[in-house]
Structure 1
Amino acid sequence: MSSFFKHSIDPVSKLLAKQGASANGNDWKILNKLKCQPINKPILLYNRIHKTGSTSTAQLIKRSAAKLQYKVLVGSTMQWEIFGSKNHEAIKSEIQYAIKHRRPWQYPRLAYVAHFYYSTIYNLSYTYINMVRDPLDRYLSHYYYQRYGDRPKEKLKEMRNLGQFNESLQDCFQQQHQGCELNVMTRFFCGYDKYCALGNQRALRQAKRNILTNYAVIGLLEEWDLSSQLFRKILPNFFTQINEKISRYKVNKNRKNEPLSPGLIKSIKEANQADYKLYRFIKQLFWTRVTKCGLQNGME
């Protein structure tokens, strides 16, 4: 049981995080120091971001767990809806309870999958993973999901009562209603501090710092197959080859084809600049790691 405890950061990650504090100036140094080597932590945390292929990634984790014999705890979307910004406290309690009450011969490793902002869990040995996608695509997908996706009936009723269910994307964007929050990816990587919700330079710097310090791999939804290969390469104790077909991501059949003006698209992109800067940074990390792991052509 002791292997679950004493979270430590390797020297390379410490150096990368320190250099990453400037957010932009040292990116080339960071990329140059990236390595392709397995990370062996007993706890895997996946703080899944809305509409980034997280359902498919969760399926991959659960099917890998069945083959590699480790335990998976999955927090529901309803849990996120109920606890919101306090979700990390519920998650910490659930992880600690699972570790405390486990039988050592049952499982040597644990993966936790849920919607929650980055959080430090002291005295536990863990690493994070995540998935991201183009910020505009994620933004549009989240807007439509909140209104036409497979959500609890009471949440849809709540949106109707608030007058948000049938509102246009333009109105949702201007009013910052459900599904139209700005710089969501930056918030998930930054954490629970109030400034993380602002999408400013401080939030962006902290998000990068957390990525460099505690994230083993961040995949790209647009490169799903390559991302899954990278997961297997860096985290062989949590990911393995799955022959069964895993759906890439759900296409919402109820989605309306609302015409989008170039002006609205431009406004959404400008308002999500922190997410775009972070997305470009993550893409650099991803492709550098892919190259160093010898996966340039998608072949292991």
Structure 2
Amino acid sequence: MASKKIFFALFFVTFVLIICYVYLDSKTTGTIFRGHTEARGVVALGKRIFGSGNEPNNNNIDSSSLVSRKPKVDWKEYWRHLDERKIMGFQEKNNIFEKDEEVATQDVTVNNPVKNNALKVKEELVQQNKKATLTGITFPDGNKPTEKKALSKKKWLYDWNETKDMVDSLPLYGNWQNELGQRIIFNRVGKCGSRSVLDVFKHLAKQNHYNMINSIVYNQTRISEEKKNLIVSVLLKVDPPFLFQRHMYYVDFSKFSSSSVKYINIIRDPIERFTSQYYFKRFGDGKNDQSQRQFKGFLQTINECVLKNRPECGTKKLQYIIPFFCGHSPQCRLPGRTPLEMAKLNVERDFIVVGVLEELDDTFAVLEKMLPRFFTGAVEYLRSPDTSSAGNTFARNRSATVTKHKEVPSDEVRTILLKQMSLEYEFYYYIKDRFQKLKIQLGIGDSKQ
């Protein structure tokens, strides 16, 4: 008798649970039990009898309830994305899975013209942004983009002060998953001709339609972890292809994201670079006249500075190029073989091209071959006969950035500097050798020096 009572009690409980499941599923979005519908017991039994609740059933579920259902998301990826956006101070109104939600709801909004129209307008805006940036790429209809007027008005050059308040002024289209887009960083070394080179890059950005992000922060080659996180997060949101330029030490993007980010750079003879920087601080150049401001230091020649062993010409100040390739570790700024080997390792891993200023024409020829999406037309622009016209300012800028009152170090001082900068020269010759091998592989002739 007791067993019969237990049997009827279990039957009654099962029946009540099934009724509750059907009733709740018909009145709500179905999300209460959905996470367990593949599980055990009477809920699974009710699912087999009354349906999974995932397919539209006009008998007991209306289309409006299905619209609010969201597809499954990769929560690990989702939270990683939120962390990146929080660094930039973004407000989370729409998430990265918004596009997936649109796909999931397209088939169930047939009877909702308001939502259909909103989705249509939003999709059109997305397509317009893509067409404005993917120049020269064939669209699904087989045609090239025809909005030439829109493209001509597109802004390709952006200045950024590396603060959150100016992030919205950058071309952020949220293509954070786009691994095919090209992201290039030019972490330019001081007094290696970079200001003249930037004139070419800006011209090519307009011609080849890539976004060029110019940092307006100077004299901060070392950056804090907070600023590093901000720069990385923002750059990974910039619509590719883009080129970001800044005076800064190497940052390993692979520690922050799996997105592909590569570097380019240009260096020069270490003593020539040091001499140029030494006199630039005192007298400036055609673009930056230091004589207009009072120089706080010794107005002596570089020979006097080295022979008197001034701190400005000491060993610690002479290791300048290597940290741009080694990174932000304090050890990278000290003379030693470890920073040198780390710099070489980073060059082989993340630097597509490291050219030399003494072979600038060949440097641009290599860049054009290695990165045609960015630098097609660079050599033609350099060799254009109208270099003095408004259309080509490279020659004028190159002459204007020549340091004033620069004196050549004496043989005695040069011998001292060669000894103190031995590691810098080892890295310089390593870069030159790598560059020559790359030229041979690409079939580019030797420069006339």
User: Shorter-chain TM-score: which interval?
Assistant: 0.7 to 0.9
Equivalent of 1:182, from 315, 318, 327? 318
Whether 1:136 and 2:268 are equivalent positions in the alignment is: no
**Which residue of structure 1 lines up, in the alignment, with residue 352 of structure 2?**
216
Q: How does 1:243-258 map to 2 (within 5 A)?
A: 243=381, 245=387, 246-247=394-395, 249-250=398-399, 255-256=404-405, 258=407
Separation (CA, whole Å) in 2 of partners of 1:98 and 1:55: 22
SS of aligned partner of 1:184:
coil
Bigger radius of gyration among the two:
2
Separation (CA, whole Å) in 1 of partners of 2:291 and 2:224: 20
Shift of 1:260: 3.3
Shift of 1:115: 0.2
Whether 1:241 and 2:377 are equivalent positions in the alignment is: yes
Separation (CA, whole Å) in 2 of partners of 1:88 and 1:65: 30
Shift of 1:168: 3.0
Separation (CA, whole Å) in 2 of partners of 1:277 and 1:137: 15
CA deviations on 1:218-238 (whole Å, 9 max, x unpaired) are 111111111101001111111
Number of residue pairs aligned between Structure 1 and Structure 2: 252
AA at the equivalent of 1:135: P
**Which residue of structure 2 lines up, in the alignment, with residue 55 of structure 1?**
195
AA at the equivalent of 2:234: Y
Shift of 1:191: 1.1
Shift of 1:172: 3.9
Separation (CA, whole Å) in 2 of partners of 1:287 and 1:88: 36
AA at the equivalent of 1:214: D
Shift of 1:56: 2.1
Whether 1:68 and 2:208 are equivalent positions in the alignment is: yes
On the 8 A contact 1:127/1:215 being kept in 2, the answer is yes
CA deviations on 1:236-281 (whole Å, 9 max, x unpaired) are 1111114354237346677225463321111111111111000110
Q: Which runs of 5+ in 2 are unaligned?
A: 1-174, 388-393
SS of aligned partner of 1:237:
helix
SS of aligned partner of 1:112:
strand
Equivalent of 1:204, from 330, 340, 360? 340
**Which residue of structure 1 lines up, in the alignment, with residue 131 of structure 2?**
none
CA deviations on 1:173-225 (whole Å, 9 max, x unpaired) are 42232899212111211111111111211111011001001000011111111
AA at the equivalent of 1:142: Q
On the 8 A contact 1:49/1:185 being kept in 2, the answer is yes
**Larger CA deviation: 201-210 vs 91-100:** 91-100
**Which residue of structure 2 lines up, in the alignment, with residue 295 of structure 1?**
444
**Larger CA deviation: 288-297 vs 174-183:** 174-183
Separation (CA, whole Å) in 2 of partners of 1:270 and 1:168: 20
Whether 1:93 and 2:230 are equivalent positions in the alignment is: yes
Separation (CA, whole Å) in 1 of partners of 2:209 and 2:243: 11
**Which residue of structure 1 lines up, in the alignment, with residue 160 of structure 2?**
none
Whether 1:118 and 2:255 are equivalent positions in the alignment is: no
Shift of 1:57: 2.0
Separation (CA, whole Å) in 2 of partners of 1:199 and 1:74: 31
**TM-score normalised by structure 2 residue count:** 0.51
On the 8 A contact 2:184/2:262 being kept in 1, the answer is yes
Q: Which runs of 5+ in 1 are unaligned?
A: 6-39
Separation (CA, whole Å) in 2 of partners of 1:59 and 1:140: 23
Separation (CA, whole Å) in 2 of partners of 1:41 and 1:200: 37
On the 8 A contact 2:276/2:406 being kept in 1, the answer is no
**TM-score normalised by structure 1 residue count:** 0.74
Structure having greater relative contact order (Cα 8 Å, sep ≥ 6): 1
CA deviations on 1:83-104 (whole Å, 9 max, x unpaired) are 442268546524533543x5xx
1:126/1:41 Cα in 2 relative to 1: closer, same or farther (>3 Å)? farther
Separation (CA, whole Å) in 2 of partners of 1:254 and 1:54: 13
Separation (CA, whole Å) in 2 of partners of 1:56 and 1:84: 19
- C-alpha root-mean-square deviation of aligned residues, in Å? 2.9
Separation (CA, whole Å) in 2 of partners of 1:291 and 1:142: 32
Separation (CA, whole Å) in 1 of partners of 2:203 and 2:231: 21
1:190/1:172 Cα in 2 relative to 1: closer, same or farther (>3 Å)? farther
Separation (CA, whole Å) in 1 of partners of 2:206 and 2:241: 12
1:293/1:281 Cα in 2 relative to 1: closer, same or farther (>3 Å)? same
CA deviations on 1:13-36 (whole Å, 9 max, x unpaired) are xxxxxxxxxxxxxxxxxxxxxxxx
